[in-house]
Amino acid sequence: MKQFDMKYKFLVILAAVTFAAGSAFAQEQKPQKIGSLNMDYVLAAMPEIKSIQSTLSALQTQLQKQGEAKQQQYQQKVVKYQTEGPSMTLGDRQQLEREIADLEEELQSFATMAQTKLETKQAELMGPINKRVGEALDAVVAEEGYTHIFNIGVPQAGLEILFYTDPAYDISNKVLKKMGIEPPSN
């Protein structure tokens, strides 16, 4: 019976120590407050988005028409080569082959340029919107004490999964130190 009492006392003391240590650790940690933001929903509710979408759609249509015109020009040369090529002189056929090759190259360059132009225009138009949303997000985070904000919208290129995290939770420098690397001073 005496041995049972000692084990019981030992377990009670161990539980008290564990509870005290856990409480001390919990007091050192800043409480986390996690929120979510549906960026798709926020953007769709902004009145200026319709204008931006319209501008981007018009630019896309314009570029698409230009691309189709170039594609049609290319197709005409290919058809001409297929139908008239065998009866052409060697010089004329080689000239037409060079024109077709040049048009192929031009089509590829145009596709790249068009994509870049669309992305640049989107970034230009969305810049002020992203800044406005970012400032509002920062204000809500500061007012309500959030430590992390996750995007719950549909994942897309260019949209973060984690919009905000309290720098106090960044362990990058600790990881660097653990690897024996002195973190940069900035």
Q: What is the pTM of this model?
A: 0.65
Domain containing 100: what range? 28-178
Q: What confidence category does residue 170 fall into, taking pLDDT thresholds of 50, 70 and 90?
A: confident
Q: Tell me if 2 is assigned to some domain.
A: no
Residue 16 domain-assigned? no
Residue 30 dihedral angles phi and psi, to the nearest 5°: -75, 135
In tens, the pLDDT along 126-148 reads 999 989 988 998 899 889 888 88
In a domain, 186, yes or no: no
**Residue 177 pLDDT more than 90?**
no
**SS3 for 140?**
helix
In-domain check, residue 7: no
Q: Is residue 129 part of a domain?
A: yes
Say which residues have a Cβ less than 8 Å from residue 113's Cβ, sequence separation at least 6: none
Does 109 fall in a domain? Answer: yes
Per the structure, the count of domains in the chain is 1
Q: Say if 6 falls within a structural domain.
A: no
- Residue 1 forms part of a structural domain: no
Mark 67-86 as b/e (b = at least 16 C-beta within 10 Å).
Answer: eeebeeebeebeeebeeeee
How long a stretch of residues is the chain? 186
- Residue 137 CB neighbours (<10 A): 18
